[in-house]
Amino acid sequence: MRAQLGRLGYVPVAPDFGQKVEPVVTLDRESFVGPWAGLPVAWSDEDTFDEETFRRDVARCCEVGIPGVYSGGSSGEFYAMELDEFRQVTRALVDTCHTHDKPAMVGCTSTYTGGAVLRARWAAEIGADAIQVALPFWMEVADEEVVPFFRAVSRAADGRPLSIYDTKRAKKALTLAQHHAIMEAIPNYVMVKSNAGTLGTTVDGCQALSTFVNVFVSEHSWAELGPHGARGCCSAMVYWNPREVLELWRKLSDADWQALRTNAPRLQALSEFLAVNFGVRGFTDTAYDRMGGRAAGFLKTSLRSRAPYVSASRDDVERLRHWYEEHYPEMLQL
């Protein structure tokens, strides 16, 4: 299902907005698949960008065969960084991915169209292979503004492949008619990241969407939704344990639904353990994912989440590791 990627050369760019870099790889419905790693950003003890650690984490994801890497989603704390930090992080992401012949996707979500446009324009300038964006989330976007919003962001990104982050956090889940309208307006709409409560996480919705766009859902849903067209996920678990998740991906690629169903109870048990022990403490996506990435030792990122949001601790990492030992030892075998 994966397309071969040629040598991707990193093209230095000026720090201000100027001429856009041409795409270095074309992601389409055949190649924009698999578990893409949605990385957290490494922060120093002084709460500044730890570029060396972040680049090392990106490089490790590339080296073990993860299909693509992105940042700027919830785990990447797009909501907790200024534009200059966003530029630093995404430049490091794209540069490192392309050095390792892997595509990079940049999350461009903002609270308003202008903010998302600025980020999408920057993503195009540094040669990102795709962008991802959710609807602005502080106040609900009116139905008639949905397509114009995505059109504006796509134009700013110079037609890069578009992934829509469909999430109830935006106070609006897109309807099938809206997905169709977006596709008609933006032919480069290639993938939807479907989250809980949105159309793509239902059997009928996934099947309908998959006729014209790639549907990404969590690994927990592959057994149920793989037979109905799911093509991958924007993943944290893939850097919790790449070996285990890439093996699950091979099962999805091979349509081995029985193997996925056999493993599903362990994924469900992990989800329940995390909710009971950490959800009640207000863990955000990035807190979970930093803890998970550190539990088996694959990531070197900091455990720090940006204030005022809860951070995982070393004790939390140990608690997850002990649960793995008893219930899911494969997650400790890198």
- Return per-residue pLDDT of the chain as tens, 334 residues: 333 333 233 233 333 444 555 555 689 999 999 999 999 999 999 999 999 999 999 999 999 999 999 999 999 999 999 999 999 999 999 999 999 999 999 999 999 999 999 999 999 999 999 999 999 999 999 999 999 999 999 999 999 999 999 999 999 999 999 999 999 999 999 999 999 999 999 999 999 999 999 999 999 999 999 999 999 999 999 999 999 999 999 999 999 999 999 999 999 999 999 999 999 999 999 999 999 999 999 999 999 999 999 999 999 999 999 999 999 999 999 9
Is the four-CA dihedral 137, 138, 140, 145 of positive or negative sign?
negative
CATH topology of domain 34-255: TIM Barrel (3.20.20)
DSSP-derived secondary structure letter, 76: T
Judged by DSSP in three states, 177 sits in helix
Q: Rounded distance, CA 79 to CA 83, Å?
A: 10
Structural Rg of the chain based on CA atoms = 19
Angstrom CA distances, 58 to 75, 76, 215, 218, 331, stand at: 14, 12, 24, 21, 20
Dihedral, CA of residue 295, residue 296, residue 297 and residue 300, to nearest 10: -50
What is the model's pLDDT at position 20?
55
* CB of 102 closer than 8 Å to CB of 62: yes
What is the model's pLDDT at position 14?
35
What is the model's pLDDT at position 176?
98
Residue given tokens 């159309």 in the structure block: 199
**Token pair in block for residue 267:** 């994924």
